[in-house]
Amino acid sequence: MFKRTASVLLMAILLASFFVTPAFAQKIHGKGGNSKTINIAHRGASGYAPENTIAAFRKAVQMRADYFEIDVQMTKDGKLVVIHDTTVDRTTNGTGKVGNLKFDEIRSLDAGSWFAPEYAGEKVPTFGEILDQFRGRTGILIELKSPELYPGIEEKVAKEIKKRNLHHNPHQRIIVQSFNHDSVQKSKSLLPNVPHGVLAGMNWKNVTDVQLQQFATYADYFNPNQNLLTSELVDRIHSKNMKTWPYTARTQEQVDRLLGLGVDGIITDFPDLLQK
Ligand code: G3P
Ligand code: CA
C-alpha cells in the first residue's frame, strides 16, 4: 500500500516538474508568461488563396487562425471595400484607383484569377459582408488602408461596427489598426471600447519610450514590421501595457524568431507555420 502511494506521488511530482520547465512554460505562455501566441492570417490565408477575398478568409477559418486581417478602403461612391492596394491593378483584372471607381465597377472585377485559375470569379468583398459572414466565427483585424485618401472612412467603419453591436466591449475580437496614427486616434474616439493598434514601418526603428507612451494613450497594440522587433523592444512595448503583433511572417524561421522574442501574436500569410 505504502509502495503504491509512494509511486503515485513520485509520478505526480515528475509530471508537475515537467509542466513547470521553462521550455514548456514558454510553449504555452510565451516568453513573458503571456498567454498563447495569437495566429493572424494576413489578408486571409493569403499564402493559399487570393488575398482579401472570401476564399482567403474561409481558408483562414478552416486553418483555425485566431484572427484574419483585412484592408479597408472606400469607393468613389462611398462604399467600404476590402482590398490592399490603392489601385485594383495587381489583384483584379481591372485598372484604376479604388477611390476613382464606383462600387458596381469594382464588384464586376475578377479578384481571383491573378492568383490561380480555380479562384476565377472571386469578388472584391465589402466590409459589411465580411462582418456579417465572419463575426463571432473568428477575430477580425481591420486595417484602415491609406485613410488619408478617404475622408470620413473612420466614421463609416465605426457605423458598420456599431450597426452589428460589435462595439460594446473589448472582447468581441474586433480590432482596428492603421499606419496613419491620426486615423487610429480618430477611430478610437468613435469606438472607445474597441481595441486599436498602431502599425509601424521601418521608419519607426528608433521609436522612443516617450513615443510608445503616447501611443499607449489610445492604442492597445503596437504592431511593427517584424524586422524592427528585438527582445528589448518587446519588453518596452509590454512595459507600456500594449501588446505586439508584428507583420508579416512568411517562413518558419521568421515565426520561430518572433516566438522567441515573446510576441503576443504573429501576422502571417501561412497560418500553419504557427501550428508546427
Ligand atoms: O497587418 C499589418 C500588415 O497588413 C501591414 O502591411 O502592407 O500588408 O497592409 P500591409
Ligand atoms: Ca494590411
pLDDT in tens, 152-186: 999 999 999 999 999 999 999 999 999 999 999 99
Task: Please indicate whether residue 84 is annotated as part of the active site.
Answer: yes
Distance of CA 147 from the midpoint of ligand 2 (Å): 12
Average pLDDT, the chain: 90
Tally of CB atoms within 10 A around 238: 18
In a domain, 122, yes or no: yes
CA distance 204 to 246: 13
Atom of ligand 1 nearest to the CA of 267: 1
In a domain, 9, yes or no: no
Domain count, the chain: 1
User: What residue has cell string 513520485?
Assistant: 10
Residue 9 has pLDDT above 60, yes or no: no
User: Beta 80-82 vs 139-144: how paired, if at all?
Assistant: unpaired
pLDDT for res 102 = 98
In a domain, 86, yes or no: yes
59 lines ligand 1 (CB under 6 A): no
Give yes or no for a contact between 259 and 266, defined as CB atoms under 8 angstroms apart: yes
Comparing 12 with 275, the larger pLDDT belongs to 275
In a domain, 7, yes or no: no
**Left (φ > 0), alpha (ψ -120 to 50) or beta: where does 30 sit?**
left
pLDDT for res 33 = 42
Task: Please indicate whether residue 29 is annotated as part of the active site.
Answer: no
Residue 99's domain comprises 24-275
User: What residue has cell string 466590409?
Assistant: 127
In a domain, 2, yes or no: no
Kind plus residue range of the DSSP H or E element containing 197: strand 196-200
Check which CATH number belongs to the domain holding 60 and give it: 3.20.20.190
Please tell me the pTM assigned to this model: 0.89
pLDDT in tens, 43-81: 999 999 999 999 999 999 999 999 999 999 999 999 999
Q: Please name the amino acid found at residue 257.
A: R
143 lines ligand 1 (CB under 6 A): yes
In a domain, 167, yes or no: yes
CA distance 6 to 36: 35
Nearest to 67 by CA among 247, 222, 199, 204: 247
In a domain, 17, yes or no: no
- State the Cα angle at 245 between 241 and 246, rounded to 5°: 125
In a domain, 10, yes or no: no
Atom of ligand 1 nearest to the CA of 179: 5
